[in-house]
Amino acid sequence: MVAANCHSPRHHRNSAKTANETNATSVRARGERRRACLAASIMRNAARSSSSRASSESGNGAGALPLATLLFCAAMQWLGLYVASFLLVAGFMRFIGRIAWWKSLLTSFVFAFAMFATFDVAFDVIMPKGPIEALFGR
Q: Could you tell me the CA-to-CA distances from 99 to 4, 32, 49, 93 in Å, in that order?
A: 45, 39, 18, 6
Nearest in space to 81 (alpha carbons), one of 114, 115, 123: 115
Q: Tell me whether residue 50 is exposed, middle or buried, using C-beta atoms within 10 angstroms of its C-beta: 0 to 12, 13 to 18, 19 or more.
A: exposed
Whether residues 77 and 30 share a domain: the answer is no
Q: Is 93 exposed, middle or buried (0-12, 13-18, 19+ CB in 10 A)?
A: buried
Average pLDDT, the chain: 75
Within this chain, do residues 78 and 48 fall inside the same structural domain, yes or no?
Answer: no
41 CA to centre of own chain: 20
Q: Mark whether 110 and 69 lie in a shared domain.
A: yes
For residues 19 and 10, is the Cβ–Cβ distance under 8 A? yes
Same domain, 47 and 95: no
Given 12, 29, 56, the domain boundary residue is 56
| Same structural domain, 68 and 51 | no
**Residues 42 and 5 reside in one and the same domain:** yes
Distance CA 23, CA 8 (A): 9
Chain segment 19-45, per-residue pLDDT in tens: 555 565 666 666 666 655 655 566 666
- How many domains is the chain partitioned into structurally? 2
| Residue 101 and residue 124 in one domain | yes
Task: Please list, in sequence order, all residues whose beta carbon lies within 8 angstroms of the beta carbon of residue 87, skipping any fewer than 6 positions away.
Answer: 72, 75, 79, 108
Q: What is the pLDDT of residues 49-61, one digit of tens each?
A: 555 554 445 555 6
Note whether 72 and 90 are same-domain residues: yes
22 and 72 inside one domain: no
pTM above 0.75, yes or no: no
> What pLDDT shows up at residue 26?
66
CA distance 29 to 5: 9
Residues spanned by the domain of 42: 1-56
